[in-house]
Structures are given as C-alpha cells and as structure tokens.
C-alpha cells in the first residue's frame, strides 16, 4: 500500500539531490522563480520536448526579457520567432496573454485567476501557481500522469483514468514546496519512470510503487488504441523572380494562422490538391513534402513556376531566397522551401 506522506518526503529528498538543470528553472532552495519565465517555458513545453524548447526559450528571453517586452512585440514577430515549435495557436495566445498580464501589472497568484488568462488551461495555471508563487496546486502533465498511474497501479485505460490519476496526485501533493514537488514528479517521469524500460532500481519511490509490485510497471498507464489519422493531399507553389520567392500571410484564424507561407491550394480546409495555381503559366513538379499534424497527415506536392513572366500578384511579399530561413516559415513550408532550393 502506497504511503502518501512517504511519497512526498522521499521525492523531495531525491529532487534536492538530482534536480535537472533547465534554463527556466530555479534550483531547489534557489529563491523565487520568475513567473514570466515559468509561464513562457510551460507554454512552450506543451506537446514539445525539453530539448526542442531550450533554444527557443533562450532566443525568446533574450529578445523579450519580460512579459512587458513581449506584450509590446508585434504579433507577426512573435509568430516568426515561434516558427518550428508547432501548435501556432499557442503563440497567438502567448501575445494575448502577455498583453493582458501587462495591463494587469503582473501575473495573478492564484490558480483560479491564472485560468482566466488566454491560453492557460488547468495544467499551465497549476504549474505557474505552484512553481512561481508557491501555491499548493495539483500539477499533472504526461510525465506525472505516468508516474501516478504506476505508483498506484491504476489499470483503467486513458483517458478514463485521468480522474483517478488526478485524485491520487492530489493526495500526494504536499502543502509546502508543491512547486518543487511538481518539478520532481516531472523529472522522475522524464529520467527514471520513462515510458519504456523504466529504471525502477534507481527510483526513490520503488518501495512505494504498486505498479512495480505487479511485475510489469511499463504497461501502465493503459492507453486506448489510436485511430488511424486521415491522409490529406495538397499543393504549395514556389514562384521565384530575381532571387526572391513570393510569400503570403495566412489568415489570422485557422491552420497555421498568421504565419508567412508559400501560397497553396487550400489543403487546410480539406482540399484534395486540385486547387488552382495563384497565376497562369507553366509549372513543373518539385517533389513531395510529408508532414504530420495532430489530426491528419499531409502529402504536400511542390509546384515550381516554370514560366518566364507573369502579371502582378495580390497580397504578399517578395522574400530573398538566400534569407528564407529568416522568414519564420512554419515547419511544413520550411520543408517545401528546402526542397525547392535543393
């Protein structure tokens, strides 16, 4: 039987010795955390790995060192700096939230008040409340979910098990140092209680773990079978003139909203790759880019303009091909640009 008091005590002792050094983290007993850095890192880390986030976090905090600086930034600059991290609605909410916090004079301290800010769901609000402001909050991300499911041998498949997981996470969260406890749980899941081949012999909670007692902790948490993702087809168009390529700005709402991109055939609205080219003339095939989104996979054919001249285009801009990496293209179109430039 798992002892909830022993869990928090043992885990915090382990964290004091073994906490990961991360760019956004204040080490144990290192003083108060900056809520701006906590919030920014937690938004970036949603569905993105620590390794991928670290250089973006460094670039953001160098360019915009405070929430006030970020609030004053043009949205298109933030979107361009975000390019490559994916889930671009996070970047739009980042700007909205920064502006609201700046108007308020700072981040609110309570979990409930944080939940009212743009883009802060239950997890992010709890993480900021606990880590930045020392509030007792129950912080459950994918790593914590896995640790708790194994610790209490919760065998109900996800997502149905999430209620029980949260209740157990609440039971073991201490009143003091809940921010350190949350980060300790994250570290444990990231480094020891990993999805595959958990390192139970190194785990500070091995004696308390009911999942380990079953002999097969790696089977937890139980996940429902994934449905196959639908496949979409699309076409992007590369129009080059005098060392410059034509880029458009996608609509503010919808897939990859507000980002610079190559013109395309409307695949984001469910197009099948048969949409019209933006100009008349001859085209040649430039290859295919494959990219996975959350709810579908995309095969994007690249059509390269092969004509000699054309009429003036609509809204957009000519961007130097030699500086295409500075355009802030989302990953899909950055892949297409690399293919066209090869």
Higher pLDDT, 183 or 87: 183
Do 172 and 8 contact (CB within 8 A), yes or no?
Answer: yes
Residue 307 is predicted with a pLDDT of 86
Highest averaged pLDDT of the listed ranges 184-198, 221-235, 240-254: 184-198
> Residue 254's domain spans which residues?
231-341
User: pLDDT above 90 covers what percent of the chain?
Assistant: 81
> Do 316 and 208 fall within a single domain?
no
- If one counts the domains in the chain, the total is 2
Q: Are residues 154 and 259 in the same domain?
A: no
| Judgement on whether residues 202 and 260 belong to the same structural domain of the protein | no
Residue 240 annotated among the catalytic residues of the structure: no
Residues 62 and 206 occupy one common structural domain: yes
Last residue of a domain, one of 157, 191, 219: 219
88-91 long-range CB contacts below 8 Å, 24 or more apart? 88/256, 88/257, 88/258, 88/259, 88/330, 89/119, 89/257, 90/43, 90/44, 90/46, 90/119
Predicted pLDDT at 257:
85
Could you tell me the pLDDT band of residue 251, with boundaries at 50, 70 and 90? confident
DSSP three-state, residue 144: helix
Q: Choose the final residue of a domain: 219, 250, 271.
A: 219
Same domain, residue pair 197 and 290: no
Give the mean pLDDT of 193-201: 96
Residue 194 belongs to a domain with what CATH number? 1.10.340.30
User: Per the domain annotation, does 322 fall within a domain?
Assistant: yes
pTM, to two decimals:
0.85
Q: Which of 9, 42, 240, 276 is catalytic?
A: 42
The pLDDT assigned to 86 comes to: 86
**Is there a single domain that holds both residue 251 and residue 188?**
no
Is residue 260 located within the same domain as residue 196? no
CA distances 169 to 2, 62, 319, Å, are 12, 35, 51
How is 259-273 classified by DSSP, letter by letter? -EE--B--GGGT--S
CATH code for the domain in which residue 334 is found: 3.90.79.10
Does residue 226 lie in a domain region? no
How would residue 226 be classed by pLDDT, with cut points 50, 70 and 90?
confident
Total residue count of the chain as it appears in this document: 342
Average pLDDT along the chain: 93
């Amino acid at each position: 039987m798992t002892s909830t008091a022993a869990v928090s005590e043992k885990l915090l002792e382990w964290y004091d010795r073994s906490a990961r050094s991360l760019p956004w983290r204040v080490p144990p007993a290192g003083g108060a955390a900056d809520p701006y850095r906590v919030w920014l890192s937690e938004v970036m880390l949603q569905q993105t790995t620590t390794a991928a986030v670290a250089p973006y976090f460094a670039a953001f905090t160098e360019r915009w060192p405070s929430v006030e600086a970020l609030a004053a930034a043009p949205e298109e600059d933030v979107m361009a700096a975000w390019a490559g991290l994916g889930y671009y609605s996070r970047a739009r909410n980042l700007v909205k939230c920064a502006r609201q916090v700046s108007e308020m004079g700072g981040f609110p301290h309570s979990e409930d008040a944080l939940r009212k800010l743009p883009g802060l769901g239950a997890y992010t609000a709890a993480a900021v409340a606990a880590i930045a402001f020392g509030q007792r909050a129950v912080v459950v991300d994918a790593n914590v979910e896995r640790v708790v499911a194994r610790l209490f041998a919760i065998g109900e498949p996800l997502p149905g098990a999430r209620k029980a997981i949260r209740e157990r996470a609440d039971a073991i969260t201490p009143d003091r140092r809940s921010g350190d406890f949350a980060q300790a749980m994250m570290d444990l899941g990231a480094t020891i209680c990993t999805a595959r081949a958990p390192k139970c012999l190194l785990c500070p909670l091995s004696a308390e773990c009911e999942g380990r007692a079953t002999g097969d902790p790696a089977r937890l948490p139980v996940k429902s079978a994934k449905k196959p993702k639908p496949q979409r087809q699309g076409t992007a168009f590369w129009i080059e003139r005098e060392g410059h390529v034509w880029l458009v700005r996608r609509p503010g709402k919808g897939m990859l909203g507000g980002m610079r991109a190559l013109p395309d055939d409307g695949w984001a609205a469910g197009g099948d790759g048969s949409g019209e080219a933006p100009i008349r003339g001859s085209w040649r095939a430039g290859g295919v880019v494959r990219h996975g989104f959350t709810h579908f996979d995309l095969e994007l054919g690249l059509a390269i303009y092969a004509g000699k001249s054309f009429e003036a285009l609509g809204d957009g801009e000519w961007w130097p091909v030699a500086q295409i990496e500075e355009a802030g293209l989302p990953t899909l179109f950055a892949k297409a640009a690399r293919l066209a430039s090869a």
